[in-house]
Amino acid sequence: MMRQVKEEVVSLKDSPLYGYRVESGNSPVIGEGDHDSKVMFIGEAPGKNEAASGRPFCGAAGKILDELLESVHIPRSDVYITNIVKDRPPQNRDPLPEEIEIYGPFLDRQIDILKPKVIATLGRYSMVYIMKKFELETEIEPIGRAHGKTYTAKTSFGSVTIVPLYHPAAAIYTASLKDTLKEDFKVLKTFV
């Protein structure tokens, strides 16, 4: 159950990010949305706003994600949004391999609970994690080539379509990527 996942992450003292979480008064970010959704978005790790509120994608990157969802008329409440790493890395640095290793199994359990038909990965960390998990490692390409493509994975609960996407925060720094993201989001629309 999702509540069990949450309780275990909340008390994950073995995490290298646990001390930073406590000293900064942050919360872990488990995920948010419709547990019956066919569509699951997987980002990287909580940023400042997310760790302060316990909600995924509620800061600047979240505003862009909201705009992208609106552009294809998918209500945010109809999808499930989470991250690989559930605690904020200091200074929003990239997640370390040992952080992905400790939080990855919780994401795996969330995927098993949701049984999504579509997994949209946001950014290269979640793309690499998900493609490795579903034995598509040999098909991994740079995000600049992989974005907007679809990959089919066979799972214990049926086939899942994986759609790698740029991270919405990339559009903050490179404005033209927002149009690319909007184009790629149209792929998702065909599944909902």
Binding positions for ligand URA, rule: CB under 6 A: 29, 43-47, 50, 56-57, 61, 83, 169
Task: Decide: helix, strand or coil at residue 171.
Answer: helix
For residue 189, the minimal CB distance to ligand URA (Å) is 22
Nearer to ligand URA, 114 or 190 (CB): 114
Nearer to ligand URA, 26 or 83 (CB): 83
Nearer to ligand URA, 56 or 164 (CB): 56
Q: Which two tokens stand for residue 136?
A: 């598509």
Nearer to ligand URA, 159 or 173 (CB): 173
Strand partners, 120: 41, 163
| DSSP run (H or E) holding 107 | helix 97-114
How far is it, in rounded angstroms, from Cα 120 to Cα 47?
19
Q: Which residue is nearest to ligand URA (CB)?
A: 43
116: how many CB neighbours lie within 10 A of its CB?
Answer: 24
Cβ neighbours of residue 72 closer than 8 Å, sequence gap 6 or more = 182, 185, 186, 188, 189
For residue 99, the minimal CB distance to ligand URA (Å) is 13
Nearer to ligand URA, 50 or 87 (CB): 50
For residue 43, the minimal CB distance to ligand URA (Å) is 3
For residue 56, the minimal CB distance to ligand URA (Å) is 4
For residue 57, the minimal CB distance to ligand URA (Å) is 4
